Structure 1
Amino acid sequence: MGYGSSNDISGIYFVNRSFTVPGAIGYMESHDEERLMYKNLQFGNSAGLYSVKTLSTALNRIKAANLIFYSIPGPKMIWQFGELGYDLSINTCSDGTTNNNCRTSAKPIKWEYQQVGDRASLFTVTADLIRLRNTYSVFTSGDATLIGGSNLVKQVMLKNKPYTASPTNSSQMNVVSVANFDVSNQTVQITFPHTGTWYDYYEYGAQLNVTSTNQSMELTPGQYKLYTDVLIQNLITSTEEEHVSISLFPNPTNDVLRVQAEKPIQSLALISMQGSAVLPKRIDTESWDVSSMSAGLYIAEIRFENSVIRKRVLKK
């Protein structure tokens, strides 16, 4: 929510509980607690124009929380529709009303969340973090160091086993995750296991030259970063993008964006550089109305049955 008390999450890591095997199931939400999104929207902190109570901001902060959460080795539990930002109170009744007697009632199913751009974007980021865990062993069996204590900036440093400061492939990869849960900019000393070239996963592999294992960096409110010392494919485009022929035009575009692909397109989302997602109205099988969108650079997130492809598009 952006407040600075009781924020130590170190107990989620089984090693910090003196366990020798990953027997502690980590969770951010459970059956007997209010959902994170509910608390964000009802009680979130604010500073200036930045407010955790704003839906897009709250959902973006759940992305940041998921990054830290899934970067920690060990089994995980997610609660109903947490991957879409479920924001109904724990006291919601099955008919959608709220009553303290409904604490254990069945909760409304919110399939319609999938049609909300910012929620769909959260789903994609969450799914991809799970993909990373399933693909790269460092996320599940690496040695983790959780940094930040009760501070609002959290870091997870993952060192592969056996550790090498000069990895030659992804099986030797090391990882650093960091997120700013404050409501103001924070200058952070990010702890890297070694100096040299690191790759910014959420900036499509942009290189960062780390000259000190305590690298200073400014993070905006809610901003999160994932660094790897081996360049890996961004998000869940790893195989499909190489084999699916896709065209976006005109680019730059003004009123209508056309997307042609060899496979049926399930949906299209346009994500701004600030992280907000918009689902433009679909005109036909390959055309979307973008006339009402603000000018600027976007990432077109094109969803197929089993994959997502991302392309840059400029709205005039």
Structure 2
Amino acid sequence: WDYRDNPNRYHIHEVIAALCRLKIDYPDPFQSNNFNWDVGGYGKRLHLNGSDMDAVVVANFRVSELSMIPGFQHTGLWYDYLTGEPVEVTDVSAFMTFAPGEYHVYVDQPVNFPAAMTEITNTELNGVVYPNPNSGTFVIEFPEAVNVNTLQIFDLNGREVTPFCSANILHGGKVIQFVNNSLYAGVYALRILSDNQQFNARVVISNNR
């Protein structure tokens, strides 16, 4: 079992373990019936109101940057639980900008923060998509072979459409060929993760159906 050998997978393990410790060590807001959530859009928010501590969970479920209001319950000093960084809140209606997939758990009391809980940073892979636009078949070419861990395609609504495509890895990982006969014409977001690197591109499909 290679969790410890894969930094991205092991990071997920550490995040889940840290969240479990928070709930066990500080049960007050998690046992309270005073909570509310807003999960209707791409920006998700959960507010937990305890007698000793409040918590706010925010996440961006889009594949692009998103500005949203976390909706802190009050002004003052808050803490990002997973990093321990303090956040001074002066306006509970202020917007904050979140990267694709970015999430935070904020608490309004200093707690036992997870040790060395830092986000995995993926460096950008250099690659070229061609032809682009295309009629449903296209190629991504890299200057060097890549080890593909994750390969995903999303439509502009953030819905993953990868199952409708097939991908062939050629030339030892330097070339990836996509073939699809099911996607409608439109713009799609392509994401490839390779160890601690990632490749992102917009692909335009025309006259496919």
- Measured against the shorter chain, the TM-score band is 0.5 to 0.7
Q: Aligned match of 1:274 in 96, 118, 121?
A: 121
Does 2:48 align with 1:158?
yes
The yes-or-no answer on 1:227 pairing with 2:100 is no
Q: Which residue of 2 aligns with 1:115?
A: 5
Match of 1:126 in 2: 16
Is residue 69 of structure 2 the alignment partner of residue 189 of structure 1? yes
1:192: Cα distance to partner?
A: 1.2
Contact 1:138 1:158 in 2 (8 A): no
Confirm or deny: 8 A CA contact 1:179 1:224 kept in the other structure: yes
- In structure 1, distance between residues paired with 2:91 and 2:118: 33
Question: Which gives a bigger RCO, structure 1 or 2 (Cα 8 Å, sep 6+)?
Answer: 2
1:215 equivalent to 2:97? Answer no
Q: Which of 148, 160, 181 is the matching residue for 2:39?
A: 148
When residues 156 and 275 of structure 1 are mapped into structure 2, their CA distance, relative to the original with a 3 A threshold, is farther
Q: Secondary structure at the match of 2:95?
A: strand
Q: Does 1:198 align with 2:89?
A: no
- In 1, the alpha carbon distance for the partners of 2:57 and 2:101 equals 13
User: In 2 relative to 1, CA 178–231 (structure 1 residues): closer, same or farther, beyond 3 Å?
Assistant: same
Q: Deviations over 1:102-148 (max 9, x none)?
A: xxxxxxxxx23443221111111111111111111134212221113
Aligned-partner Cα distance in 2 for 1:271–1:177: 17
Q: Distance in 1 between matches of 2:29 and 2:121?
A: 27
Deviation string for 1:56-112 (max 9, x for gaps)?
Answer: xxxxxxxxxxxxxxxxxxxxxxxxxxxxxxxxxxxxxxxxxxxxxxxxxxxxxxx23
- CA distance, structure 2, for counterparts of residue 273 and residue 118 of structure 1: 7
Could you say if the C-alpha distance between residues 114 and 226 of structure 1 is closer, same or farther in structure 2, counting changes exceeding 3 Å?
Answer: same
In 1, Cα distance between equivalents of 2:103 and 2:54:
17
Distance 2:2 2:78 in 1: 39
Task: Report the structure, 1 or 2, having the larger helix content.
Answer: 1
Q: Which runs of 5+ in 1 are unaligned?
A: 1-110, 162-171, 242-269, 277-316
In 1, Cα distance between equivalents of 2:94 and 2:122: 25
TM-score calculated relative to the size of structure 2:
0.52
Aligned ranges for residues 80-95 of structure 1 at < 5 Å? none
The aligned residue for residue 298 of structure 1 is none
Rate the CA distance shift 1:272–1:144 in 2: closer, same or farther, 3 A. closer
Q: Distance in 2 between matches of 1:146 and 1:113?
A: 32
* Aligned residues: CA RMSD: 2.4
Output the amino acid matched with 2:38.
I
Unaligned runs of 5+ in 2: 124-209
> Structure 1 or 2: larger strand share?
2
Change (3 A) 1:213 1:120: same
Q: Deviations over 1:160-182 (max 9, x none)?
A: 03xxxxxxxxxx11111101010
TM-score normalised to structure 1 length:
0.36
